[in-house]
Structure 1
Amino acid sequence: MRTKHMKCLAGVTAATATVLGLSAGPTAASGHHEHVVRPGESIQEAVDAAHPGDTVVVLPGTYRESVLITTSGLTLRGTGERTVVAPQAAGTAPADPAAAPPKTTAGAPAPAKGPRALNACAAGGNGICVVGTEKNPVDGVRIRALTVSGFTKSGVWSSRTDGLSVRRVTARDNGTWGIAQEHSTRADIRRNTTTGNGDAGIFVANAVNEEGGATDTGGTTIADNEVSGNRIGVTARRVRNLLIDDNTITGNCSGIFVVGDESKPAAGAMTISGNRIVKNNKLCAATPRLSAIQGSGIVLTGSENTVVRSNVIQDNVGTTDFSGGVLLFKSFVGALNTGNTVSENLVSGNSPADLANRDTAGTGNTFTGNTCATSVPAGMCAE
């Protein structure tokens, strides 16, 4: 199967390979292979044929499928905005994988016709999935330079991964999250664009469908992303030990939302620094778990030992409970904020206040050296 696949790839013209800087065969130094996918071909088939260390290169075009990656060390690389992964067109939904295949008169399965069966990624409504298991996480997968758009759930979804790297990906107009992960460690989510997604542009959680204490992400980094027009820009839910740095976050209902609850360990022990969080004034209606959101810069709920430092937080304006520049708010189950530090931020033009500590029962929270005009309670802005 592998030999046959590589012989097919040898059909890529020398001119195409030269222009794109690609090789259809193994590199001389490493022995790793590049699998080139052209319009009309299947990304999933190339991924299934790949081995750890291989690269799947997806040429410009629109590929109407979902891609499931379960191989460690794999790189999936497109050509930027010209490589688009999108759902199958209406009226051509994949077959139900639980249904029995049609039979020929001899009783053998009939040859496949039409759209291929759902994989687990497509069944979940996601575009690109990287999925391991508790005992065998998928390590070192890299996703590069492509667009994932229009899926009912997430553009890029990962679970049980370590060292996942997502860079220069555009995740737009997906029903829930743009780029999301759970049960994962040491991710690097950098230089992406997430816009118009139904919930968070970037979402990091301990687990989506379970309660439980916050998990240590091992230093997951969310950096240098452009995040706009989502419900929430970046959500960190029941996680610890991560960096949210140097992102531009604008036009969402809320910029950054740290979510904790009464479980132990608590969410927090993270750094939010160097971000530009401006005019997140979209109005989002209440949900069963959360009141309406509008005009929120950074919100900490049930967090401990989080550092909010050297951010520019401006012109976030609204009239909801979460409106304002930087807010401490007890979680929806009553968990308190403890030991958080908000320092050296430029916070201006936010309403009803630049800084607001609405978790007055929380302990050890400090506001120091912030340039701002209004605070609740008064006196938290630097003179």
Structure 2
Amino acid sequence: MKKCHIAYLACTAALIGTGLGAAPPVAAHTVHVVHPGESIQKAVDAAQPGDTVLLTYGTYHESVDVSTPGLTLRGVGRGTVLEPEAAASTGSTAPSTAPSAAPSTAPSTGSGAAKTGKAASSCAAGGNGICVVGTKDHHVDGVTIASLTVSGFAKTGVYATEADGLTVRHVTAVKNGVWGIATEHSAQGVFRDNTARDNGDAGLFLANTIKEELGATDTEGTVVEHNRLVGNRIGVTVRRLRNLTLAGNHLTGNCAGVFVVGDENKPKAGFVTVRENRIERNNKSCPKTARLDALQGSGIVLTGAEDSLVTRNVIKDNVGKSPLSGGIVLFKSFVGTTSDRNRISDNLLRGNSPDLVNTDTGKGNTFEGNSCRSSQPAGLC
């Protein structure tokens, strides 16, 4: 493994008044450069907080565990590709990719593990590409994953838990068996300028927790913006979370564009802002599962959510035969939880079937200022 050590000089002098004053020393950080055929994991294990592991152009047949806070794992663009090892590769044909299978296909985070390393190992070994896995006692915060492709993993391209302040940007997640990029037990995330295409379930899946039934948690301002979600079952799923923004994303060719999902647990999912996204032709057909009806032609679906804002989106030509079909849909959750006090305003909707849908019996939901032509019930436009 080749390393390029880059240290910030602490010898800069500054002229202060009539004398010279030395600038305070700055901690040195190291760039660990990895080439195809070399081990990414060895470089990651050798890195210290604040270091960068730089992957050069080419294909790496490897899963990677990140357990060092503040680490940056970065490629040089889409041409830096992580794929499963040949013996472990299952391509994109994992037999169980539906949301109903999510608990059983979620990466094991080793709840009995005494060390983060053991938890992370079970994640990567379980069919995931890049794992950023902490525990309640040892968070792996401030990690950045950037400028690379994760493709063909049986479960998830990039998976993170107990990883506050995670940044994922310019990552292409394609043809992974379940999720393209997924997080749980994490806050203050930034997901920007990524492409998630042809993944088995959601391109981006953000949840409070995957295996447990708990109330929604506060993401403290997680941002999902300027991503491209194409050909997945669902473009973006936000499950049991609060205080999150989806803005400026392009979603097309999925079975459904955006799902904001809550249930009977308290607090409810909510305080989610969905604004200025372009959501069109999400007409792929996906079969019914144990947890969710068949999907086709859904733009934005809110179910079991409260106090959320859907505004200034362009939503066109989402057409299907699912009970959840429509441009913007308020749908009473399958466990009977209503959606309350959500505001649907100033959206442009054309060619959806129908444009606006409200089958929810919740209170305080409003539809105002939308440009649309059809609704169920009539009169929402």
TM-score (norm 1): 0.86
**For 2:230, which of 228, 236, 243 is the aligned residue?**
228
**Residue type of the alignment partner of 1:355:** L
Q: Where do residues 142-157 of structure 1 align in structure 2 (5 Å cutoff)?
A: 142-157=144-159
Report the equivalent of 1:350. Answer: 352
Deviation track 1:205-242 (CA, whole Å, cap 9, x = no partner) reads 01011101001111111000010000000000011110
Preserved CA contact (<8 Å) 2:69 2:142: yes
Deviation track 1:6-36 (CA, whole Å, cap 9, x = no partner) reads xx635xxxxxxxxxxxx43434354100000
Offset at residue 90 of structure 1 (A): 3.2
Report the equivalent of 1:44. Answer: 41
| Residue range with higher mean Cα deviation, 290-299 or 120-129 | 120-129
**For 2:5, which of 19, 24, 32 is the aligned residue?**
24
Please state whether the residue corresponding to 2:222 is helix, strand or coil: strand
**Residue type of the alignment partner of 1:181:** T
Quote the Cα distance in structure 1 between the aligned partners of 2:312 and 2:89.
Answer: 50
Match status 1:277 vs 2:288: no
Report the equivalent of 1:363. Answer: 363
Deviation track 1:174-213 (CA, whole Å, cap 9, x = no partner) reads 0000010000000000000000000000000010111010
Give the 3 Å change call, closer, same or farther, for CA 90–245 of structure 1 in structure 2: same
Report the equivalent of 2:210. Answer: 208
| Residue range with higher mean Cα deviation, 143-152 or 130-139 | 130-139
Offset at residue 133 of structure 1 (A): 1.0
Q: Where do residues 165-244 of structure 1 align in structure 2 (5 Å cutoff)?
A: 165-244=167-246
Please state whether the residue corresponding to 2:43 is helix, strand or coil: helix
Q: Where does structure 2 lack aligned partners over 5 or more consecutive residues?
A: 10-25, 91-119
Quote the Cα distance in structure 2 between the aligned partners of 1:315 and 1:66.
Answer: 39
Report the equivalent of 1:66. Answer: 63
Quote the Cα distance in structure 1 between the aligned partners of 2:88 and 2:253.
Answer: 34
Preserved CA contact (<8 Å) 2:89 2:152: no
Give the 3 Å change call, closer, same or farther, for CA 319–267 of structure 1 in structure 2: same
Quote the Cα distance in structure 2 between the aligned partners of 1:285 and 1:175.
Answer: 16
Give the 3 Å change call, closer, same or farther, for CA 86–9 of structure 1 in structure 2: same
Please state whether the residue corresponding to 1:80 is helix, strand or coil: coil
**For 2:85, which of 82, 85, 88 is the aligned residue?**
88
Report the equivalent of 2:109. Answer: none
Give the 3 Å change call, closer, same or farther, for CA 92–285 of structure 1 in structure 2: closer
Preserved CA contact (<8 Å) 1:59 1:79: yes
Report the equivalent of 2:53. Answer: 56
Offset at residue 168 of structure 1 (A): 0.2
Offset at residue 138 of structure 1 (A): 1.1
Report the equivalent of 2:125. Answer: 123
Quote the Cα distance in structure 1 between the aligned partners of 2:63 and 2:122.
Answer: 9
Quote the Cα distance in structure 1 between the aligned partners of 2:6 and 2:37.
Answer: 21
**Residue type of the alignment partner of 1:86:** E
**For 2:299, which of 288, 291, 297 is the aligned residue?**
297
**Residue type of the alignment partner of 1:9:** K
Offset at residue 121 of structure 1 (A): 2.8
Offset at residue 71 of structure 1 (A): 0.5
Offset at residue 91 of structure 1 (A): 7.1
Please state whether the residue corresponding to 1:270 is helix, strand or coil: strand
Preserved CA contact (<8 Å) 2:235 2:257: yes
Report the equivalent of 1:249. Answer: 251
Offset at residue 154 of structure 1 (A): 0.4
**Residue type of the alignment partner of 2:63:** S
Offset at residue 92 of structure 1 (A): 8.7
Quote the Cα distance in structure 2 between the aligned partners of 1:144 and 1:119.
Answer: 21
Quote the Cα distance in structure 1 between the aligned partners of 2:59 and 2:225.
Answer: 28
Q: Where do residues 328-347 of structure 1 align in structure 2 (5 Å cutoff)?
A: 328-347=330-349
Quote the Cα distance in structure 1 between the aligned partners of 2:138 and 2:309.
Answer: 33
Offset at residue 347 of structure 1 (A): 0.8
**Residue type of the alignment partner of 1:79:** V
Quote the Cα distance in structure 1 between the aligned partners of 2:309 and 2:239.
Answer: 16
**Number of corresponding residues:** 336
Quote the Cα distance in structure 1 between the aligned partners of 2:180 and 2:262.
Answer: 21
Preserved CA contact (<8 Å) 1:67 1:121: no
Quote the Cα distance in structure 2 between the aligned partners of 1:376 and 1:92.
Answer: 45
Deviation track 1:131-186 (CA, whole Å, cap 9, x = no partner) reads 11112211110111000000011000000011000000000000000010000000
Preserved CA contact (<8 Å) 1:24 1:36: no
| Residue range with higher mean Cα deviation, 285-294 or 129-138 | 129-138
Offset at residue 124 of structure 1 (A): 2.2
**Residue type of the alignment partner of 2:380:** M
Overall identity of the aligned pairs, in %: 58
Give the 3 Å change call, closer, same or farther, for CA 91–163 of structure 1 in structure 2: closer
**Residue type of the alignment partner of 1:26:** A
Report the equivalent of 2:108. Answer: none
Match status 1:373 vs 2:373: yes
Report the equivalent of 1:34. Answer: 31
